[in-house]
Amino acid sequence: MVYKIERPEFSGEMVLKFKGDKMRFDISSQRFSTIVDGKTGDVITLMHPQKNYVKLSAETVKALQERSKQDGATPNPAAARPKLVATGKTEKISGFDTEEYTAEVKGTTFHYWFAKDFPNWAALQPLMLKMQDSLSQGTGASAADFPGLPVREVTESAGQKSTMTLVSVKEEALDDAVFEVPADYKEMVLP
């Protein structure tokens, strides 16, 4: 899946790849990749220019999320996950018929356009939920509530707007090596 990202701080493409319980996303303009193991909850970030990587165990990810909540930087996911509300608006985006939903939490508005008839959505939804659980800090609606594949997501907060739009989707065989750290990368140990 290829998404176009437009944010005040950068624009570029994000490529999502799924295989089994693993997911990888590459953000072209940031020159890094993240690999999420949905089975273990581990998260690996590859920094391509430096040929380095950082591996965070599921326990470390949870501890960082908890610390962020205690610092007040992010809301409590259980308490703050907003509910999706259908707007009744429809739009054709990237060749898909979509329906718009919104959600609001603490001054942030989320607009989602879902393709409810997306092929294999039932198989993709649990993977997206695992990714969200590993990476999200409690913002936005839960992937468990998504009625279809999000084709576009617009987030508005404090006068800033971020947009993520699906550009293309294709199903193909992926080598297991796509979800592994390259042999010539060195691990960075965080304090």
Distance of alpha carbon 149 from alpha carbon 101, whole angstroms: 12
For the 2-187 domain, the top CATH level (class) is mainly beta
- Helix or strand (DSSP H, E) at 103: strand 96-105
Residue 8 is predicted with a pLDDT of: 85
Name the E strands within 106-148. 108-115
Q: Mind listing the pLDDT tens digit of every residue in the chain (191 residues)?
A: 899 999 888 888 989 898 988 889 898 766 889 998 888 888 999 999 999 999 988 788 777 767 766 655 444 444 556 889 999 999 999 999 999 999 998 888 999 999 999 988 888 888 777 777 656 555 678 888 899 999 999 999 888 999 999 999 888 999 999 999 999 999 998 77
Residue 68 is predicted with a pLDDT of: 65
Distance of alpha carbon 12 from alpha carbon 82, whole angstroms: 27
Residue 74 is predicted with a pLDDT of: 47
Residue 178: how many other CB atoms lie within 10 Å: 13
**Residue carrying structure tokens 């899946």:** 1
Domain ranges of the chain: 2-187
At 62 the three-state DSSP class reads helix
